[in-house]
Amino acid sequence: MARPAWLEIYRHYEVISCVEAATARGINLATELKTLLLTANSRVIAVHLRGDRRLDNGRLRRLFNARVSFLPAQEVALHGLRAGAINPWNIEFCRVHVISASVLALPHMATNNSARDEGILFNTSELRKLPNVVIADIERD
């Protein structure tokens, strides 16, 4: 999967959570992208939402007409990934990318650069180029 050109690169101390990342990067939590890995119908899916929002499991369950659960940490590790270092461009094994509509309403967002101590600012339009994109209202405040 081709990575887009970054608008800015942030270098900072190691962070894991969206709150920590937004603080380290000096940005609003709403503009920090949260990427979650889940399973639905035996498929690994990526869910992308704003850092200041929470996933509405019921909406996601109805979207896939299936039970959804978080991908176990040991399976994430098998792909060479760990919490705080997962982004839309380093999860080629995901079959579907569910993007919250509120993410695409913003012109740009930040996420990690596959490392806990480096972030990137990108145009949100780049998310539409991911494979098998589904845009949906999947967040709650």
Which residues, listed in sequence order, are joined to residue 32 by a DSSP beta bridge?
A: 110
Tell me what the mean pLDDT of segment 98-121 comes to.
Answer: 97
For residue range 19-47, list pLDDT tens digits in order: 999 999 999 999 999 999 999 988 999 99
What's residue 118's pLDDT? 96
Token pair 């200041």 is found at: 52
Check: CB of residue 7 under 8 Å from CB of residue 108.
yes
**Residue 2 or 60, more confident:** 60
**What is the pLDDT, as a whole number, of residue 1?**
60
Alpha-carbon gap, residue 65 to 140, rounded angstroms? 19
Question: With contact defined as beta carbons under 8 Å apart, do 115 and 24 qualify?
Answer: no
Does the pLDDT at position 50 exceed 80?
A: yes
What does the alpha-carbon distance between residue 137 and residue 59 come to, in Å, rounded to a whole number?
8
Question: CB within 8 A of 43, min separation 6: which ones?
Answer: 95, 96
Helix (H) or strand (E) run with residue 108 in it: strand 108-115
Q: Show the domains of the chain with their CATH numbers.
A: 8-140 (3.90.960.10)
State the Cα–Cα distance between residues 41 and 39, nearest whole angstrom: 7
- Strands of 133-136's sheet, edge to edge? 68-70, 33-40, 43-50, 96-100, 133-136
Residue with tokens 């850092």: 51
pTM over 0.85: yes
